[in-house]
Chain A
Amino acid sequence: MAKSIDTGTMISETFQRKVIEPSTPSAYSDSCHVGPDALLGIKRQQTNPTRWNGQSWQEFAAALRDHDIELRENIAARGTFATDAGGTAYGLPHGVVIARSAAQVSALLKAAQQFRVPVTVRGGGLTTEGESVAFGGVLLDMTGMSQVLHVDTDALTVRTEGGIFWHSLAEELRRHGMDYLSAPLNLTSSVGGTLGVGGIDVNSPRLGCSADQALSVQVVTPRGNIVECSDTQNAELFQRVILGYGQFGVITEATLKIRRYTPLRMHYFYYDSLRIAVEDMQLLNRNDASDYSGILTIMDCAVNLLVAFDSDEREAAFRANWQSHLRGHGEPGFALCMLRRYVLRPWKLPEAWFLFQRKRELFPEFRRSEYMRDGLMHDRTVVFSRAVWKFWGSKQMVIPDLATSAEKFVEAVERGNAVCRKYFPHYTLYCVGIKLRPEHKAHYEMSCIPPDAEGWAYGCEFEPMIGGQVYSRDYFQSFKNAIYDIGVDLGGSYYRFGGMMKGYIRRVFGDEVVDRHLAMKREADPAMILNRDVIF
């Protein structure tokens, strides 16, 4: 065994040079035969990875069989994973392995390391830039590991397997009167996938990003070691794995903080100015005036600030101290406001009609009787997720985003809004704050958390409503590039900078940081097999 690892590292030197595509103009110009200045001015890039060539696949497959690992090579099994929620990056694995245990994942990674076979880990596959798409090699489907292992209602923790969907976890926790802290609003993202990329909820302004609720995780490293890590145990690995885009290990189990389940007291405020809505949201966050907050726009002149509370006390305190500071209107007030707007601008009547229609369809969705009891909203994740898929979902989810510090956020939102307006007739912006944990600064390096954010980071997702429309991927890509260019300009970050958008990584984080992480990655994953097309 030791011998095979030795040759492994030796060969991996040449292997690395061959397979790692330079993803940025600066890296490219070193190896570019065209000229040192070729493409200097053309910064925007996407990446459609070259398919892995399948070398040693048969030997690898045989090695898996020796370990009793089931490898599915039929087209139906592979075709299921041809794309992700984004629907713009396509690739087929050579084979699919369904995760069963940490030991099995470990054996798989050891073999993959030995035969240099790329392994792409997939939870819910809700990435949008092809991060969870395998361009050849093995697709490791984590949904096979989706058990809740232990709920501790005293210590307020849960131990769960990594492939579980948040929604299933919530269901299990509810039996104990518990809830997770925060998770993406889409029902089918997994715990492991989310700890790796971030996870933002409407309570993130108070409870932080989903990744920050992990107390410890069990990781199978790219070399196949099974390691438990946390802030105190193997802290360095913990720093790399949390928000690490699956580069430094497969998350097979996690211990998460939990809390008592509460239904929500919802409030909606309406604005005709994005800027003012954002300022008000930030005011609430700074003063800890609400438990949940977020902005959803219908149009850029019809902006909804959603505010919610876990308890009557918090709600009463908000009413007494903060509600009067908000510059938004209630529903009737806003209706008047809009009436005035369109009476003065009769040529914009189609816009008014769109607004009216949208309101008619959308609002009842947030007040469905099965989720409302005594004026309180239950199962917010289900309510929001249903609405997300129903009103924004399509075969292609094109949702670029910008993440900045609090100070730069208004500018980011306004500039991104101008880009959306240029590309699509209708779109929605979703803005939310993320409370940061100062002691987790190391986790945040080279992640969606912008390097200059203090206290809170802010994220805005730009969601075109594609509906039945058809656009070329090139058109979507130009749109994404235009949004991402703003991020480069502002020195921010992104939630979805990997995969097809990885060309931005060096521009955003700088060579020094990226090279440091690349060196760590090479150390941890000599054959560069784990999620190889995502970041580097």
Chain B
Amino acid sequence: MRTVDVIIVGAGLSAAAAAKRLVDAGLETIVLERQKLPRHKICSGILSPRGHRFLLENFGPLPREVLHDPVSCRGVTFHFPSMVSMPMDFFGGTTPHLHRKEADYWAVKSSGAEIHDQTSFVGLQDNGDHVIVKARRMGEPVEYRARQVIGADGPSSQVIRAIYPDYPQSIPWFFVGQKFHEIIECPLDEQYFHFWFHPGLGHYTWSHARDGRQIVGVGFKSGDNFAKKHANVVNYLSDKHGVRLGEPLDDEGCAENFGPSLINRYVFGKGNVLITGQASGFLNMIGEGMSCALHSGAICGEAVVEARLRNRPMQEMYRRMIASEVRRTTDQWNPLKIAFDRPHEADFPAALMAMGWRDRAKVLRDLWSFIVLYKEFKWGRQIFRAAMQRPLIGGYSMKRWL
């Protein structure tokens, strides 16, 4: 059995960031990845400027092969049912359109950690001073022994299941799917990521250009029919925006744990098992999860280093340190912050104020009817409570974290 300091499950961006911190501090670290690397990852790949800066500061300039075409994205355009469109540029210039397959591999390799791909985490046993990790490599069972385990295995995390078997049932799940179309004619500016606040289309509807194709995606509560939802969006784009697309050439989809960061209900683990990245619930507004995956992953790695050096409890250290990233992410959902501060990396209030009052009224009305779509999850009161908490305690309550 291999004995190491830390096992990280998953080889995504949060894993890469955590691995970098651990390896830098001299901890022997193995990254387990279920798939063969480099692996495909469904993602729009629009890295926020803060995420771009993180990569640059920790792994160096981005090589060309980690980018799709167009290589960059200038900002986000919001579209509303009343046919108002709001383009918003990112605060610091253009930002990368990441090719996740190559980018994640590049980052995790740059971290310096040892990588075991095609190795699937299946379970663990926390024995207090060490953890036994059970995995399967190409079908064969393997075991590792580590002082700490970091679950950086994305939205439907096996590591969370291992420590909180009931957790997946306790949160709403969404399905997001996208298809890649040939472009016949597309008036949507390819420099922007397009997003529709349209309750009739889905909970999350987007489109953007990639490698000569147009991606059309839609997210909805698990249980609905993707093909139907998608066809509906394609027709809408054609009717209302004059987007003419060929037959889809490819499609893909996955489950998403959208919600925990919105209501401050993160999972950070217990004992020697720490959860980070999207697994713990980090997702910014409009599903942007890479920058908070990177930052939370780094903090997770730092927490392990600090806790060991100072001989302090792992979970306490992690939770106190992660508070800054929780603030940053949950602020993006906080209505008071959105109205009076600038929690996002593009200026929504400014774009709103730049419009005539008629359009502004339309946008606010449309936004409201979009929010009503989420009523069934009963998040309203929790969001309100979190928003009130923020100025009072200078952050969000740790008591709501698992």
Residues of A within 8 A of B (CB): 21-22, 28, 31-35, 37-42, 45-48, 50-51, 75, 78-79, 82-83, 89-92, 135, 395, 469-475, 478, 503
Nearest chain A CB to B388's CB is how many angstroms away?
21
Q: Is B23's CB under 8 angstroms from A51's CB? A: yes
**Which B residues touch A135, using CB under 8 A?**
24
- The closest CB in chain A to the CB of B317 belongs to A470
**Which of A34, A35, A90 contacts B24, CB < 8 Å?**
A90
Residues of B within 8 A of A (CB): 20-21, 23-26, 49-50, 52-53, 56-64, 67, 71-72, 91-96, 110, 112, 295, 298-299, 302, 305-306, 309-310, 316-317, 320-325
**Which of A33, A38, A89, A470 contacts B64, CB < 8 Å?**
A33
Given A45-B57, A472-B325, A473-B298: A37 touches B93 (CB 8 Å cut-off): yes
Q: Is A472's CB under 8 angstroms from B299's CB? A: yes
Nearest chain B CB to A111's CB is how many angstroms away?
24
Q: Is A39's CB under 8 angstroms from B324's CB? A: no
Q: A33-B61, A40-B93, A470-B317 known; 13 other A-B pairs, CB under 8 Å?
A: A35-B71, A35-B72, A38-B52, A38-B92, A38-B94, A39-B49, A42-B91, A48-B58, A79-B26, A89-B24, A472-B302, A473-B299, A474-B325
Q: Is B92's CB under 8 angstroms from A474's CB? A: no
In the complex, A135→B110 CA distance in Å? 13
27 pairs, CB–CB < 8 Å, chain A vs chain B: A28-B56, A33-B61, A34-B94, A34-B96, A35-B94, A38-B52, A38-B96, A40-B92, A41-B91, A41-B93, A42-B49, A42-B53, A42-B91, A45-B53, A51-B112, A78-B26, A82-B26, A83-B25, A92-B24, A92-B25, A395-B306, A472-B322, A472-B324, A473-B298, A474-B298, A475-B324, A478-B324
Nearest chain B CB to A37's CB is how many angstroms away?
4
In the complex, A445→B122 CA distance in Å? 59
Q: Is B295's CB under 8 angstroms from A474's CB? A: yes
**Which of B20, B56, B59 contacts A39, CB < 8 Å?**
B56
**Which B residues touch A37, using CB under 8 A?**
93-94
**Which A residues touch B324, using CB under 8 A?**
471-472, 474-475, 478
In the complex, A516→B67 CA distance in Å? 33
In the complex, A529→B96 CA distance in Å? 32
**Which of A22, A92, A478 contacts B61, CB < 8 Å?**
A22
In the complex, A473→B299 CA distance in Å? 7
In the complex, A31→B62 CA distance in Å? 9
Nearest chain A CB to B13's CB is how many angstroms away?
15
In the complex, A50→B62 CA distance in Å? 13
In the complex, A470→B303 CA distance in Å? 10
In the complex, A135→B111 CA distance in Å? 12
**Which A residues touch B323, using CB under 8 A?**
472
In the complex, A344→B333 CA distance in Å? 40
Q: Which 3 A-B pairs have the closest CB atoms?
A: A41-B92, A42-B92, A37-B93
In the complex, A202→B73 CA distance in Å? 52
**Which B residues touch A33, using CB under 8 A?**
61-64, 67, 71
In the complex, A473→B310 CA distance in Å? 15
In the complex, A395→B298 CA distance in Å? 19
Nearest chain B CB to A482's CB is how many angstroms away?
14
**Which A residues touch B310, using CB under 8 A?**
395
In the complex, A89→B298 CA distance in Å? 12
**Which of B21, B59, B91 contacts A90, CB < 8 Å?**
B21
**Which of B25, B71, B94 contacts A82, CB < 8 Å?**
B25
Interface centre among A22, A83, A474, A478 (most CB of B within 10 A): A474
**Which B residues touch A92, using CB under 8 A?**
24-26
Given A39-B92, A51-B112: A470 touches B63 (CB 8 Å cut-off): no
In the complex, A270→B306 CA distance in Å? 38
Nearest chain A CB to B90's CB is how many angstroms away?
8
**Which of B24, B63, B67, B317 contacts A48, CB < 8 Å?**
B24
In the complex, A337→B59 CA distance in Å? 53
**Which A residues touch B295, using CB under 8 A?**
474
**Which A residues touch B93, using CB under 8 A?**
35, 37-42
In the complex, A91→B320 CA distance in Å? 24
**Which B residues touch A50, using CB under 8 A?**
59-60, 110
Interface centre among B24, B96, B317 (most CB of A within 10 A): B24
**Which B residues touch A48, using CB under 8 A?**
20, 24, 57-58
**Which A residues touch B23, using CB under 8 A?**
51
Q: Is A38's CB under 8 angstroms from B72's CB? A: yes
Nearest chain B CB to A130's CB is how many angstroms away?
10
- The closest CB in chain A to the CB of B64 belongs to A33
Interface centre among B60, B64, B317 (most CB of A within 10 A): B60
Nearest chain A CB to B22's CB is how many angstroms away?
9
In the complex, A45→B316 CA distance in Å? 28
Q: Is A395's CB under 8 angstroms from B72's CB? A: no
Q: Is B95's CB under 8 angstroms from A38's CB? A: yes
Q: Is B92's CB under 8 angstroms from A34's CB? A: no
**Which B residues touch A474, using CB under 8 A?**
295, 298-299, 324-325
